[in-house]
Structure 1
Amino acid sequence: MYAALWRLLPGPAWVRVVILLILAAAVLYGLFWYVFPWVSQLITPQESTIGG
């Protein structure tokens, strides 16, 4: 999978690395600002106490 992605990207190796870093940053941004807050509304935390 990674080899196919590497072959699809244009340019020399350093351009491919920059493109992959930008894509990874965009995915992380989307996860932290849109996906994780949406999922946290669907998951109810377990009530637990520590100690006794």
Structure 2
Amino acid sequence: MDYDAFGDVIIFDTSYRLNKYNLVCAPIIRVNHHWSNVLFGICFLADEIISSFE
């Protein structure tokens, strides 16, 4: 309902890139109706298996 009214989007992207420690960067980003990015949170994962996301 908010997306129809405002066009806000939340992105969780684990395919960003590996850093020098071979950790996956997983940012949670919001793009609002003004096309501004808002960083909600970020985590580093050792790998992309299901137990890492839990």
TM-score of the aligned structures, taking structure 1 as reference length: 0.24
Higher helix share: 1
Please say which structure displays the higher CA radius of gyration: 1
TM-score of the aligned structures, taking structure 2 as reference length: 0.24
Bigger relative contact order, structure 1 or 2 (CA pairs below 8 A, ≥6 apart) = 2
Higher strand share: 2
